């Protein structure tokens, strides 16, 4: 059993990489441990940078995105009982788009299967060799196979098998003293653009999933028990943290999903070992405040697809050799922006009055300074890839 590129992980990173390689005539096999239904239902972020939407459209995978995605030209910082709009498009010429990761995965799965792609669900990878590249896996019948290849792409997430196969990794991490309680609610959004709210009781985010579905988040302690948050308490707390002096109202509706997500930053270096390349959450994690996780995974595989295309077209290893350093420049910029947004907007339970006053001063500056708004807008809509 042989292919040119073995891709471990059938999330958006692995599927997009397979699709981009297919467009260049490069064969791949995608090995995903979960079943198709699970992968297509897995709830994740859905705020897409301009570069992410561009590559989906240019690759022919953006038809439903263009039809159903919600394009945003700005966002709101809300604190001190008032809202302050950041005009993203006016400042950068770029937009962001709300389109759920679950929908991207559905689009890419359908695209790969329609194109005759080899995507294998419920396939457990039990070993890999990065030097004489091959991946050993167990299929749905329990039989063990070895897939020989030229290169391996580890797109299997934070808990996958790819990163542990890289010797000599340096890792950098930070745990945050809070988590997000996130809900999906069958209620039209109360806003046309995202609201990032800083309140004495903690951070809150009003996002959107569709014209009929809202996605909202509350800052909670990292060890919080979700059973302590009945629906009525969630809506009461959201209303308090979003409250403004002009009487803005939050729409309430049936909550269909709730979960608590811890917040951390993590980077592994390098993102390559021999013929194994790490991409997405296998190499880095960001707190969700900056909406960078999915977009970083996309930028990784764009860089990797370009490098593999050059290798097969010309025999040059130049871009492959630069893969890790190229990706890490963007990773660390996104890590800093996500850290900055997180510390700017959340209430640190250990913060004293001095620290809280500094935070409010910083928020005032960002809301009033054209330079500060531009910095936020440039990072939020996405810096150049590669």
Six token digits for residue 378: 């440039």
Q: Would you call 84 a catalytic residue per the annotation? A: no
Burial of 16 per CB tally in 10 Å (0-12, 13-18, 19+): buried
pLDDT attached to residue 74: 98
196 is an active site residue: yes
Read off the pLDDT band of 41 (50, 70, 90).
confident
Q: Give the pLDDT mean for 93-100.
A: 96
* Edge-to-edge strands, sheet with 272-273: 118-120, 28-31, 5-8, 151-154, 276-278, 272-273
Q: What is the pLDDT of residues 123-134, one digit of tens each?
A: 999 999 999 999
Q: Is the dihedral of CA 364, 370, 374, 380 positive or negative?
A: positive
CA atoms within 13 A on the CB side of 235: 15
72 is catalytic: yes
- Does 297 score more than 80 pLDDT? yes
- Which tokens hold the place of 376? 């936020």
Q: Is the pTM of this model over 0.85?
A: yes
**Cis ω before 32 (30° cut-off from 0):** no
So what's the pLDDT on residue 47?
Answer: 93
Sorted by where each starts, the structural domains of the chain and their CATH numbers stand as 5-51+99-172+264-341 (3.50.50.60)
Mean pLDDT value of segment 342-371: 97
292 is catalytic: yes
pLDDT digits (tens, 9 = 90+) for 182-234: 999 999 999 999 999 999 999 999 999 889 999 999 999 999 999 999 999 99
For residues 17-22, average pLDDT: 98
pLDDT at 45 over 90: no
Give the whole-number percent of the chain exceeding pLDDT 90: 96
Catalytic residue, chosen from 12, 19, 22, 72, is: 72
Determine the pLDDT at residue 136: 98
Is 288 annotated in the active site?
Answer: yes
Within 10 angstroms of residue 71's Cβ, the number of other Cβ atoms is 13
Which of these is catalytic: 99, 151, 196, 217? 196
**Residue written as tokens 């810096």?**
383
């Amino acid at each position: 059993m042989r292919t040119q590129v073995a891709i471990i992980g059938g999330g958006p990173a692995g599927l997009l990489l397979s699709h981009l390689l297919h467009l260049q005539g490069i064969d791949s096999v995608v090995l995903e441990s979960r079943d198709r239904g699970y992968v297509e239902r897995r709830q994740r972020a859905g705020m897409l940078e301009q570069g992410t939407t561009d590559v989906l459209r240019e690759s022919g995978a953006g038809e439903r995105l263009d039809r159903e995605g919600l394009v945003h030209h700005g966002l709101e910082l809300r604190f001190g009982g008032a809202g302050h709009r950041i005009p993203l498009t006016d400042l950068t010429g770029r937009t962001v788009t709300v389109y759920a990761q679950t929908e991207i995965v559905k689009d890419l799965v359908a695209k790969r299967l329609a194109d005759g792609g080899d995507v294998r669900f419920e396939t457990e990878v039990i070993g890999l060799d990065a030097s004489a590249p091959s991946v050993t896996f167990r299929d749905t019948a329990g039989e063990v196979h070895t897939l020989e290849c030229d290169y391996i792409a580890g797109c299997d997430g934070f808990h996958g098998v790819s990163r542990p196969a890289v010797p000599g990794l340096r890792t950098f991490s930070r745990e945050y003293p809070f988590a997000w309680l996130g809900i999906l609610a069958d209620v039209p959004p109360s806003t046309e653009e995202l609201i990032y709210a800083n309140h004495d009781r903690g951070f809150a985010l009003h996002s959107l999933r569709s014209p009929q579905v809202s996605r909202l988040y509350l800052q909670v302690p990292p060890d919080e028990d979700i059973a302590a948050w009945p629906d009525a308490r969630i809506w009461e707390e959201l209303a308090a943290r979003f409250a403004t002096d002009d009487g803005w109202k939050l729409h309430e509706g049936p909550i269909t999903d709730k979960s608590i997500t811890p917040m951390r930053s993590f980077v592994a270096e390098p993102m390559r070992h021999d013929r194994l390349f790490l991409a997405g959450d296998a190499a880095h994690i960001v707190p969700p405040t900056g909406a960078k996780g999915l977009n970083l995974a996309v930028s990784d595989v764009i860089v990797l697809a370009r490098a593999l295309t050059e290798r097969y077209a010309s025999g040059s290893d130049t871009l492959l050799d630069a893969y890790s350093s190229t990706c890490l420049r963007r990773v660390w910029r996104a890590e800093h922006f996500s850290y900055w947004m997180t510390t700017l907007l959340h209430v640190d339970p250990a913060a004293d009055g001095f620290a809280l006053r500094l935070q409010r001063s910083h928020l005032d500056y960002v809301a009033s300074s054209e330079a500060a708004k531009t910095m936020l807008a440039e990072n939020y809509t996405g810096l150049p890839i590669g």
